[in-house]
Amino acid sequence: MDGSEPFVTTAEGMAAAIPDRGPLVRACGTCHKTPASMGVQEFSKCASCGMTRYCSRQCQASDWKEHKAICKERVAQVGRLAAQRETARVAGKRFCTPMTIQTWYRNQSAAIEHAAFHILEVYKGPKASLLRTHVAVFTVRVDEKTPEDPDLVRFFNVLALPLDEFAQQMRMDKMNLDRCKKAARTQMMVLYFVDMQDWLHHIEFHGPPSSEPYTRGEKTPDKHWRAHVIMKLNGGLPNAQADPE
């Protein structure tokens, strides 16, 4: 199901397909419970990297062995980015960072979730979907003039690609590949964002909506999901840019 066939829609139709829900709130990095499911606004974050969230001290402790390496790398990355930003500023050069894509994802999570849900065929149920074997690859581009503005990130395409093959093509390191495989085993949607122009990369693990209403026949997949996603993500942007190579 491509989802790009021509059709006519309304503002109400768009809202029904992809309801607005505000910026994403991080789930627990260990058990993947959401703050809403536990009656709180947000979970406590790792004091070192400031990114991963945990619903309890028990979850944080059980995840530490695996989180330690990525936490150390995140802290180092923040330092590298700060130095690179300052070097670019002094030289009067343009500076880009994957953090722009991360913020864009969090602000636009409803539309991105809608795209991943359909491209990974989650609606078919756990056994028939592509959740355990594939990654949803989003091609995006940061703005040429203001590359650190998440509101100006442009979406181009999303594909479902076999995780192992994609990791090999992108020369993904073992740490990130292991994280992706663990997420896939636990039925998380593996999302990989790439800006081919500035060679920016970002990985997210996103809990999918339930497939049960679809497998029971109570809901049907969005036939125009791709068009809905494009309109939702790019509708307020200035003139379109050329597609990336």
Segment 157-166, tens digit of pLDDT: 999 999 999 9
Distances (CA, A) of 83 to 26, 51, 78, 98: 28, 20, 9, 15
The average pLDDT across 37-53 equals: 92
Segment 111-120, tens digit of pLDDT: 999 999 999 9
Q: pLDDT tier at 245 (50, 70, 90 boundaries)?
A: very low
Average pLDDT over all residues of the chain: 90
What pLDDT is recorded for position 4? 59
Q: What is the DSSP letter of 144?
A: S
What pLDDT is recorded for position 175? 86
The average pLDDT across 190-202 equals: 93
Helix (H, G, I), strand (E, B) or coil at 34: coil
Distances (CA, A) of 226 to 8, 17, 83, 182: 14, 11, 39, 28
What pLDDT is recorded for position 242? 46
What pLDDT is recorded for position 77? 85
What order of strands is seen across the sheet that includes strand 189-195? 154-162, 134-141, 189-195, 200-206
Q: Which residues pair with 28 in a beta bridge?
A: 53
Residue 240 has pLDDT above 60, yes or no: no
- Domain residue ranges in the chain: 23-94, 96-237
- Measured between its terminal Cα atoms, the distance across the chain in Å is 24
